[in-house]
Structure 1
């Protein structure tokens, strides 16, 4: 039991959970607890059950069956029986874990859990991460070379992008020793995951070998490390505040101004670039990759075009601005239009509306008589935008109209009998334009 506790562990745990409920959860809210069947989540389940009278809420339970352990079915059965005994609704999700995930099995399992948690129709998701977990997470992040945001480890309250629920971790100030004490005081049963003893996993090595040694030489190390994570969270919040201040003049829409970026000191510029990437919901690249990106963006000539692969996204410098864009889609054969009101263009990743209009757009009779297809540029395309004018290369038109290079690769195009007749954002083939009073077809990209 932690030295700071002056009363039984079960009361100490209940006090921490009740405090979280009082500050973050309105009465009669919908709560879902992630229950593995292990010590931590079992104690949290019983604590929540005991608090329902003084703070009413609707409680459900979710169990993720990873199938990685030969005992996984037994754990699911244990959770089923436990929830049935307390008349709590339980949902079990069985998932397939990719054992060849480049980030490892632990990361693959975590991704599957988060995918399920994101889709839960509930107000709050409770997980049983505790003080020792927080200390281990901080050490793991420190050994990865993380900055303040990574060293902040786990937040007590978190609104994740794409999640319906607010994620709450009410036990972050509770040591595992207190959870064990609470379980023994109440005579609770739980299951043990044998993989927690496997020190081939880095977290287990920290838990089984490093943390006991630290506690031997630095009493209260877990509590101290957890407090350090809280301080790092404060520092990360201040950096976010600074980035938002710098972004006021530097970021407009989806564009980060290069001049504003390079006017900052290197640490502030790096912080702003990190903020810009996070705004787009992207995984942060390593510090070395981030610094190399900043160098290329800052040192390039004013008219230079820079393209950097960040994994899920590409970062471009174009006409004095920095942009993030999805990588080019794989080549897909053009699709044929058969008169429908809208057509999906796989190569462009967009849907094109085909509205009927009088005296504008392309001649309906010509399109109806020919073979109309949609796709993206392959090179060598030409278009006549004005009657009697020259046929100009699409390449030059894209440059003249200021279409960003990452959009040029996926710009939807329309052909009639193999002849380019429309380019989104640029215009129509003048020779096929509908005359006043003539039935026309007006294509445009659906929002």
Structure 2
């Protein structure tokens, strides 16, 4: 129940709501005006230009049904006009309420007199990117497809200042460089498919805190849904939102504005680096036939590397991004740079990243899409091309340009020693990365070096991926780098295999193998993407069952003996003992065993 407010308080609330409404509408109006002008200037079609100048540019609104997207839908329909809007909803099927959310989104669009489209997607819960990452990728693919189908060039997203602050903090604690710290751009151009029209992503509410959106929603009488998973602090972003942000806001009330300024500074600095990289690219670029992305001259890159290792590293990352690939991890990038510096001019240079192969022939460096060889699957091809470039582990989401100066200092000290240490690091995991946990029932184990979280999910005896909780309490859990030579057995009746072979069999490309190896004591227990080691999990399960059965049996025997003795007959004692033993064994086995399923979830930076 809400108590009645005094007239003065009600008047203040009304004034605040009007002010919030004005800010929301102004933000959307500004974004729409910018997009209309950009659409006109970018269009080569005279008819399209006329339509845009007449205010006919259509806008899509990504509508989940939550607070942010509900406010965005209402404000955009008011500013742009309902007839020029289309609301897009993606049904993931991950929540039992997903159907109700779809109905709510459809009704919200109908109430706003806005066109509506929805797409159902299937999200693999065991995806290598984690369930959050897989859901995010599936959502954006579906949104882009719906934009293309509706011939809509602009899509509005409801991210606000609180989302931006969370993203910045997550990137900062992960050690991100400028590109990561820039967080979410207010405007981004996305080429969803080759030869398909680009979709411009716009976040009109990015400068507004969530509190403003709440006031706007109340003033407009909007209804929205709350995703129950947003309260699950096992997810890193939720833990930050519920456990870190509140005390930070109390101590630094204007922290959102401060972090937003830092993000803009990082974005400006990265843009400047990109400008320098584009200029350097002109001197390194080799002209190729057709519209292929640029190829680089290895000899020219080496000359730049001698003059300025920082600029050489910068242009190399810029070139990788020009192919639409994510940045490499620091260790992988260091290894690539070392190979480029030492590669013989008369020998091929091949390594893979993000499904592409780096080729070196007659001084020309190019990235080619990996293709299937006859009689050999993609994972085997990937492994052949990486025989001399073992997988390295680290962050794949950020360029880490800031580390280039440290690498330059290392090179100037003792080249022979540095090259030796690099080769050793490439062959083996980092011994310093040995995280330990005395597990006492924690639901999650955050592992920042691998940018993910190990989740302990309760399950039952029917789960083939179960492990008894009692064994996890008996020995220390360790998370370490893969150093080579580790073996495990992933299925009943299957032989023990090396992790390298198992990754190949599972078809996991090299850039999906940057995961921790979870040890129980000194034995491999679990590897993300491969699952449990049966040699450890099955043995421990039997041991645990026998212990629980023995405990239940002893308890049942004692109870039965006592009951039989009290009855005063030898038959009663014997019958009680047998019945108690059987009942106790069954109860002990079923009730006393706590089963868990281990799941690896990568950190999701953008919800």
On whether the aligned pair clears a TM of 0.5, the verdict is: yes
Instruction: Kindly state the Cα deviation for residue 87 of structure 1 after the two structures are TM-superposed.
Output: 2.0
- Please, which of 306, 320, 323 is the counterpart of residue 277 of structure 1? 320
- Please, which of 139, 144, 147 is the counterpart of residue 118 of structure 1? 144
Distance change (3 Å), C-alpha of 1:88 and 1:111: same
The equivalent residue for 1:375 is none
Deviation by residue 1:229-254 (Cα, 9 ceiling, x = unmatched): 11111111111101110011101234
Instruction: Kindly state the Cα deviation for residue 266 of structure 1 after the two structures are TM-superposed.
Output: 1.7
The equivalent residue for 1:167 is 201
Instruction: Kindly state the Cα deviation for residue 316 of structure 1 after the two structures are TM-superposed.
Output: 2.5
- Please, which of 30, 43, 47 is the counterpart of residue 75 of structure 2? 47
Alpha-carbon distance between aligned partners in 1 of 2:358 and 2:251, rounded to the nearest angstrom:
47
Deviation by residue 1:190-213 (Cα, 9 ceiling, x = unmatched): 000010011111111111111112
**Which region of structure 1 is more displaced relative to structure 2, 292-301 or 172-181?**
292-301
Alpha-carbon distance between aligned partners in 2 of 1:6 and 1:66, rounded to the nearest angstrom:
34
Instruction: Kindly state the Cα deviation for residue 113 of structure 1 after the two structures are TM-superposed.
Output: 1.3
Deviation by residue 1:214-236 (Cα, 9 ceiling, x = unmatched): 21222211221122111111111
Say whether 1:33 aligns with 2:61. Answer: yes
Alpha-carbon distance between aligned partners in 2 of 1:173 and 1:310, rounded to the nearest angstrom:
35
Instruction: Kindly state the Cα deviation for residue 96 of structure 1 after the two structures are TM-superposed.
Output: 0.5
Alpha-carbon distance between aligned partners in 2 of 1:38 and 1:255, rounded to the nearest angstrom:
45
Instruction: Kindly state the Cα deviation for residue 321 of structure 1 after the two structures are TM-superposed.
Output: 2.5
The equivalent residue for 1:257 is 297
Flag the structure with higher strand content: 1
Say whether 1:14 aligns with 2:42. Answer: no
Alpha-carbon distance between aligned partners in 1 of 2:17 and 2:338, rounded to the nearest angstrom:
55
Alpha-carbon distance between aligned partners in 1 of 2:316 and 2:181, rounded to the nearest angstrom:
19
Deviation by residue 1:134-171 (Cα, 9 ceiling, x = unmatched): 11111222233322122211111111123632111111
Alpha-carbon distance between aligned partners in 2 of 1:224 and 1:70, rounded to the nearest angstrom:
38
Alpha-carbon distance between aligned partners in 1 of 2:171 and 2:278, rounded to the nearest angstrom:
25
Between Structure 1 and Structure 2, how many residues are aligned?
A: 329
Alpha-carbon distance between aligned partners in 1 of 2:192 and 2:220, rounded to the nearest angstrom:
38
Q: TM-score scaled by structure 1?
A: 0.70
Alpha-carbon distance between aligned partners in 2 of 1:43 and 1:282, rounded to the nearest angstrom:
34
The equivalent residue for 1:78 is 104
Deviation by residue 1:93-152 (Cα, 9 ceiling, x = unmatched): 111001111111111011111111222231211110111111111122223332212221
The equivalent residue for 2:157 is 127
CA RMSD of aligned residues (A): 2.1
Distance change (3 Å), C-alpha of 1:91 and 1:12: same
Distance change (3 Å), C-alpha of 1:280 and 1:212: same
Indicate the SS of the match to 1:283. Answer: coil
The equivalent residue for 1:180 is 214
Alpha-carbon distance between aligned partners in 1 of 2:163 and 2:250, rounded to the nearest angstrom:
18
Instruction: Kindly state the Cα deviation for residue 267 of structure 1 after the two structures are TM-superposed.
Output: 1.6
The equivalent residue for 1:88 is 114
Instruction: Kindly state the Cα deviation for residue 307 of structure 1 after the two structures are TM-superposed.
Output: 1.4
Does the 8 Å contact 2:17/2:215 carry over to 1?
no
Alpha-carbon distance between aligned partners in 2 of 1:207 and 1:146, rounded to the nearest angstrom:
19
Segments of structure 2 that go 5 or more residues without pairing to the other structure are 1-11, 37-51, 289-293, 382-607
Does the 8 Å contact 1:67/1:95 carry over to 2?
yes
Say whether 1:195 aligns with 2:229. Answer: yes
Alpha-carbon distance between aligned partners in 1 of 2:364 and 2:330, rounded to the nearest angstrom:
21
Deviation by residue 1:322-375 (Cα, 9 ceiling, x = unmatched): 221222413259xxxxxxxxxxxxx9xxxxxxxxxxxxxxxxxxxxxxxxxxxx
Deviation by residue 1:27-81 (Cα, 9 ceiling, x = unmatched): 110111010000000011111122136xx86111110011111111111111111
Q: TM-score scaled by structure 2?
A: 0.52
Does the 8 Å contact 2:186/2:203 carry over to 1?
yes
Segments of structure 1 that go 5 or more residues without pairing to the other structure are 334-346, 348-447
Alpha-carbon distance between aligned partners in 1 of 2:246 and 2:342, rounded to the nearest angstrom:
49
The runs of at least 4 aligned residues of structure 1 exceeding 4 Å deviation read none
Alpha-carbon distance between aligned partners in 2 of 1:247 and 1:6, rounded to the nearest angstrom:
51
